[in-house]
Amino acid sequence: MRSEVRDESATWEASLRESVLDPVALVDRQAQADRLLAAEGAGHLVHDLPVRADGRNAGLESRPWRLDAVPYVLDVAVFRWLASAVIERLEGLEAVLSDLYGPRRLLTDGVVPTGVVHADRGYRLGVVGMPPPRRWLSTYAVDLVRSVDGSWWVVQDLADAPPGVGYAMLDRSVMSRVMSDVPGWSTVASLARYPAQLRQALAATSGAPSPRTVLLTGGIDHPSYVDHSYLATQLGVHLVEGADLVVRQGRLWLRTLEGLEPVDVLYRRMEDPGLDPLEVGSVGAAGVPGLLTAARNAGVALANAPGAGVVESAALMPWWSAAVHHLTGVELRLTPYAGESLATTPVHRAAAGDHDGFGALAECPVVLRMFVAHDGHRAAVLPGGSGRVLAPGDDPRVPTACVAKDVWVIGSTLAPLVATRLPQVDLATSVPTRAADALYWANRAAERAETIVRTVRAVRSRVESDPGLVGYDGGRWSVRAQEVLRAVSGVRGDDVPVPGLEPLMERAKVALWAAAGSIGTLLTESTGVREYLSVTSGWVLERLSRARMAMLSLEPGAGPSGQLPVDELDAMLVEFAAFAGLWNESVVRGPAWRIGDAGRRIERASCVLDLVASGFASPAGPADVDDPVDAQVIETLLAADESLVAYRRRHRSDVERGAAESLLVRDRSNPRSVVAALDQLVEHAHDAEWPEGIAAATAARDASLALPLDELVPVVRGHLRDADRLIVSRWFAAPVNPVPVVRRTA
């Protein structure tokens, strides 16, 4: 309904409005906002990703969105009125839920139609009469629109698993960097206190003195996964999927590398029907079997409580105002939107994809989503929110423009809301098995992709610096180079390489397609564990995503002309180096880092073995150091392993087989060697106090030091497979207790 305060058009100070709407500055700000948003995962995450390491397809329903460089502005007086009205509505809906699942006066008194309630999928009959939770709605969101006369209306209530607060905080993070130099930026209300208030509201759902909270997501396939991932990082809680959790002995547990850990509060961002596949009316099998039974028996607190989604019903919304008045005597100030003409606000046209109007502004209506966290004593409203631009003809419930707005509250500083501090808990050693699994395969994929790209770059560089090498002595080098590319990319086949530049370039292209697959695995697995990676990693992953798309676009059969420029390959290698550097310098040394780095070391040793096995031998027999072709092949191997410069500095001579083999395989001082990787793997096994792993890694290292190359390769490969199998069975494979099926006889 109408608020007795100024409308949006009166809230901007002239200098701030002029600076924010400057058409020249808007172009740069929009481009910067796009880059920053992509770096946070909103870019690479929306691409089609390949099959995950565990065999599941990563088909995403989310779509890229643009963040408008023009904010949606609210005067502090408008915000305070809205915040008060939203809290009023939240408390009213809390009373409605308590009645619908308790005495049901609203039904017996005929205030709300019984048939409509029972027909709604959000109403859980199994919850009726159960002991009430501490609070039905710990979190709440509501979509609002403003009509041309200044009145505010409710579009929809979001009470089941209210989405969007992570998006709102992500958008503000981006805008704070885009607008940091704008005069008057300091007058915008900060969102920094809200995560602590939300943590307090979640903790209040449990009776534990220092409750363990995790955030439940539907995984990267969920349309709001970016929202979930970013919010979990801001809250400092584990982001978990259904497979990470198990119900035992009447309570909920988290599967970690060290065993089962109790969970006190489940901040669920999965919708109610997907929570528990054992419940009536459930959809899919991605939830946690027995979860709702554990919740009923106080084995875990759920925020929000199951059944809260009934208040989201569009069919029941017209009755909520009367229901709240019947139970509490309060007349809600915010009532349902009924098609009134909507006010508009400035939108940067480039944000909506209109590049013909680059730098220009359009006027569009906006849906404002506000967020509330309630700890049982007081409500905290996010001093801002999330704006969603409406395209012409849009239903306000379902915007199609895919353009978001940061919401600014401008005016006198809001009174700080200080939340009670929760006891500190050190969770450094607590790593969910799924997260460890993802880190392991992400690092293996990164190492393999880097090796493939480096090998292609070494071959391409050799061709460009010495074009005659391709045809020398019947093209033997080109055949050998094709064997190396095939081995390192893992693309097996019975076809016999033929001499020539075109077959070589086609093999290089196939290798890059294999690298694109490994990059896809890196992106998929990294997306699921962003809370373990540094913020800067998002930039690297975004650029690798673009590189992957470039690889996949290579034209089949185009020969030498259908290749990526060497400069682009160099740029990819820089990104791989950046990712490895961030992994080693920005990830806390603990079980998560150890398991991921173990994957990297296993893959590095495997990659070098693939290089030397294919490069030091030819179809005609072992390499001959007096043969110039063999010398060129060995030099290519050194370049592919990033060891050519080290070789030249050490030996200052032409390459020799023995010295090159030693540097690639046995030299502990070369971080790219097989033995150096295995030394690190042995150290990780010791740190984990894992005897089987120590034995497998030590056996591989000792064989690398003692055996001749032709014996070494198959033996060390076998030990590496053992190490990989042991890691998977020790930490990633869920224990199975087989129950024999006995045939009944009459």
Same domain, 139 and 249: yes
Same domain, 400 and 464: no
pLDDT at residue 222, rounded to an integer? 83
Buried b (16+ CB within 10 A) or exposed e, 617-631: bbeeeebebeeebbb
**What pLDDT digit, counting tens, does each position of 312-337 carry?**
999 999 999 999 999 999 999 999 99
pLDDT at residue 44, rounded to an integer? 41
* Mean pLDDT over each residue of the chain, to the nearest integer: 86
DSSP β-ladder status, 238-240 and 213-216: parallel
Structural domain includes residue 241 = yes
The mean-pLDDT minimum among 200-214, 258-272, 490-504, 591-605 falls in: 490-504
For tokens 């009205």, what's the residue? 85
Structural domain total, the chain = 2
The gap between the terminal CA atoms of the chain, to the nearest Å, is 73
* Residues above pLDDT 70, as percent of the chain: 87
pLDDT at residue 96, rounded to an integer? 97
pLDDT at residue 225, rounded to an integer? 86
DSSP state of 97: H
Same domain, 367 and 448: no
Same domain, 84 and 32: yes
pLDDT at residue 161, rounded to an integer? 94
Please state the rounded mean pLDDT for residues 664-689: 94
What sign does the dihedral 405-406-407-409 (CA atoms) show? negative
Last residue of a domain, one of 377, 410, 443: 410
Task: Looking at 337-492, list the stretches that DSSP marks H as alpha helix, in order from N- to C-terminal side.
Answer: 433-465, 476-489
**DSSP string covering 194-224, please?**
HHHHHHHHHHTTS-SSS--EEEE---TTSTT
- Using the predicted structure, report yes or no on whether residue 737 has a pLDDT greater than 50: no
The mean-pLDDT minimum among 40-49, 50-59, 78-87, 427-436 falls in: 50-59
pLDDT at residue 23, rounded to an integer? 84
Structural domain includes residue 120 = yes
- Using the predicted structure, report yes or no on whether residue 284 has a pLDDT greater than 50: yes
How far is Cα 416 from Cα 563, in angstroms, rounded to an integer?
58
Convert 394-425 into a string of H (helix), E (strand) and C (coil).
Answer: CCCCCCCCCEEEEEEEECCCCCCCCCCCCCCC
**What pLDDT digit, counting tens, does each position of 379-397 carry?**
999 999 999 999 888 899 9
Confidence bin at 13 (pLDDT 50/70/90) = low
Same domain, 401 and 439: no
**What pLDDT digit, counting tens, does each position of 441-477 carry?**
999 999 999 999 999 999 999 998 888 888 888 889 9
The mean-pLDDT minimum among 399-403, 506-510, 554-558 falls in: 554-558
**DSSP string covering 227-289, please?**
HHHHHHHHHT-EEE-GGGEEEETTEEEEEETTEEEE-SEEEE-S-GGGS-TTSTT--SS-S-T
How many residues are recorded in the chain? 746
Structural domain includes residue 1 = no
Q: Which of 334, 340, 333, 366 is nearest to 352 (CA)?
A: 366
Structural domain includes residue 506 = yes
How far is Cα 231 from Cα 226, in angstroms, rounded to an integer?
8
Structural domain includes residue 416 = no
How far is Cα 505 from Cα 463, in angstroms, rounded to an integer?
10
Same domain, 442 and 378: no
DSSP β-ladder status, 617-618 and 621-622: antiparallel
Same domain, 539 and 449: yes
pLDDT at residue 357, rounded to an integer? 55
Same domain, 394 and 528: no
- Using the predicted structure, report yes or no on whether residue 365 has a pLDDT greater than 90: yes
Confidence bin at 557 (pLDDT 50/70/90) = low
Please state the rounded mean pLDDT for residues 398-402: 84
Same domain, 392 and 470: no
Same domain, 325 and 437: no
Last residue of a domain, one of 358, 377, 410: 410
Boundaries of domain holding 682: 433-732
pLDDT at residue 167, rounded to an integer? 92
Same domain, 586 and 640: yes
For tokens 């390489």, what's the residue? 497
Give the up-direction half-sphere exposure of residue 395: CA atoms within 13 A in the CB hemisphere. Answer: 3
Please state the rounded mean pLDDT for residues 147-171: 95
Structural domain includes residue 426 = no
- Using the predicted structure, report yes or no on whether residue 200 has a pLDDT greater than 80: yes
- Using the predicted structure, report yes or no on whether residue 425 has a pLDDT greater than 70: no
Structural domain includes residue 634 = yes
Last residue of a domain, one of 376, 395, 410: 410
Same domain, 326 and 441: no
Q: Which of 398, 411, 412, 394 is nearest to 344 (CA)?
A: 394
Confidence bin at 736 (pLDDT 50/70/90) = very low
Confidence bin at 620 (pLDDT 50/70/90) = very low
Structural domain includes residue 473 = yes
Q: Which of 324, 304, 321 is nearest to 92 (CA)?
A: 324
pLDDT at residue 413, rounded to an integer? 47
| Cβ atoms of 389 and 347 closer than 8 Å | yes
Please state the rounded mean pLDDT for residues 406-433: 64
For tokens 């390949």, what's the residue? 50
**Residue 319 CB: number of other CB atoms within 10 A?**
18
What sign does the dihedral 313-316-321-324 (CA atoms) show? negative
- 100 vs 565, residue with greater confidence: 100
